[in-house]
Amino acid sequence: MSRPGSSRRSSRGHRRRESCADGKGEEPKSSSPVPSPGSWNVDRGRSRVRRPSNPFSEDNLRRRGYHSLLSSFGKVFHVERRWKLIREMGSGAYGVVISAADEISGETVAIKLVTRVFEKIQLAKRALREITLLRHFANHENITGLIDVDAISPDFNEIYIFMEPMEADLHQIIKSGQHLTNEHVQYFLYQILRGMKYVHSASVIHRDLKPGNLLVNADCELKICDFGLSRGFDARPDEYASQLTEYVATRWYRAPEIMLAFRRYNTAIDVWSIGCILAELLLGKPLFKGKDYVDQLNKVLDVLGTPDESVIRKVGSDKAQAYVRSLPFKKAVPLRKILPTADPQALDLLSKMLAFDPSDRITVPEALEHPWLTSYHDISDEPDCPQKFERWREIERLNTLEEFREALWNEIEDYRKEVRGIDTHSPDQLFRIPSIGGTRGGESPPQPSQATLPAVPPDVLMPTASVDENKTFVSSPEVILEREGLSRRLEAAKAEIERRPSMSPDLLRRHAEVRHIILLCLHRSTSHPLWRGMSVRNLLNWNLHLRLGRWSFPPKGTLYQHDHGQDLP
């Protein structure tokens, strides 16, 4: 017996199928998430359209040799598997920085995760400026070195910037309250000026100098970082002059010409910021600690006094001119009253840096020649940048987020090819040795040649055969280590060295074999993306130190820092 209503449902379904079959009707849509039998053909057709996979899924990350690191700041870092989290170093409005170690090479780096890159054009511009300028200023001792840049996919929204690791920043040093001697302050200031001379000589204004953007190590080495607000400039008026914005520099280090909207500003705004940093080093706290825009200007006028009428007329805004004129006349306060224990020569330099009128302000090269810095000043060791930074115009012409996305992706790919030394056109050439930060902006990278390689002794033959480009090379470090026996040979040789006071003939032979394998790895990498086991630079340094009879590596000039190693006799 059929159930009541079953015939009605059957005839209704029959009519619906007929209607769909002759093309005069449509399949009714169901709100149920589970597909009904009548809609199977439609759903099956939809299933053929493949949705783009999530590049951050664990399967996709694993397939590409990446994994996820979770920092205590709540940010997830998607980086190559070889990188392991050491500690969190800091966080800001647009990024998080961690310290990470390479499990294979032992290299330690700082990884800066820049988030929200394409939330708005200004953030994309910051990211592009930082990468291009770090590339341009490569190899200067007082500018943070760029090691690598990465992004997961072309439709990325975050960037990973790999930089030289530093132990702290100047803000942390000042905030800790530890006593800084006159010599400490001199040395810090000298390094800031030395780095900024290089920056200014490339026609670039940093525009965000502050203690938090000055990284330091325990040996007082200082490096300037964070070029996201920097931009190039031209001495002559141009179409971009009116685009110089007042929304640069952290408020306490912001020059008067920015606050009062002078018609143009230049490198003098960086000198003002350096003066504020010098005052903070001497005072132990910020000199001009304004609560807001107006209060900041008042704090400056309280110390420097009311500016002359000739200076007020340079102010670009009539309202700002009227405001300054409306304030009661203020006398300048001698810096000796604010900093009674400071060196008089330091105060003289500070007064020249904090001149209200930018045209009266000392320049960076002039500051380096000041008597207070005589003990450090050496013009032969204070280089100018060999190339002007011309790409700022190209960056300023970008108008849409898609243009910035394409420019950033191209920049990342270009830099990775440069820093990993891949030369696909000439398989017979060895990779060049990439120094930290790559090449100076505008310079051609040094061409690799046999003359640049360590000399090879008679017992180790340098492979000279051309690489077969049709041969498939495996990029997995585990496979390469297994294939060449490098790991086993190194461990055996090292154990032998540590066990015996002198080298046996067998150890000498094994020592030569290891070097031969290293050179073989170098040669095989010429027409193939460098395997993740080790950089060419490390391989060459390792080869050189093996040749010199050492298993220990110097702390600088190489990414290997095995201080516990024992020298070979």
State the Cα–Cα distance between residues 343 and 29, nearest whole angstrom: 83
92: amino acid identity, one letter:
G
Token readout for 506 is 């067998």
Are 420 and 433 contacting, i.e. CB atoms less than 8 angstroms apart?
no
Token readout for 539 is 């391989």
Q: How many residues does the chain have?
A: 569
Task: Identify any residues that bridge with 550 across adjacent strands, giving them in sequence order.
Answer: 567
If you ran DSSP here, which 8-state letter would residue 356 be given? S
Are 214 and 235 contacting, i.e. CB atoms less than 8 angstroms apart?
no
Residue with tokens 């141009």: 238
Token readout for 162 is 């790999």
State the Cα–Cα distance between residues 485 and 478, nearest whole angstrom: 10
224: amino acid identity, one letter:
I
State the Cα–Cα distance between residues 165 and 380, nearest whole angstrom: 27
Catalytic residues: 208
State the Cα–Cα distance between residues 304 and 354, nearest whole angstrom: 8
Residue with tokens 């055996």: 492
Sort 200 into a burial class: Cβ within 10 Å, 0-12 / 13-18 / 19+.
buried
342: amino acid identity, one letter:
A
Q: Which residues contact 502 (CB under 8 A, 6 or more apart)?
A: 569
* CA torsion angle 530 535 541 546 (round to 10): -70
CA proximity to 103, closest of 117, 119, 83:
83
Sort 371 into a burial class: Cβ within 10 Å, 0-12 / 13-18 / 19+.
exposed
3-state secondary structure 140-200: CCCECCEEEEECCCCCCCCEEEEECCCCEEHHHHHHHCCCCCHHHHHHHHHHHHHHHHHHH
State the Cα–Cα distance between residues 523 and 431, nearest whole angstrom: 9
State how far Cα 425 lies from the chain centre. Answer: 29
State the Cα–Cα distance between residues 255 and 273, nearest whole angstrom: 7
320: amino acid identity, one letter:
A
Token readout for 167 is 């132990």
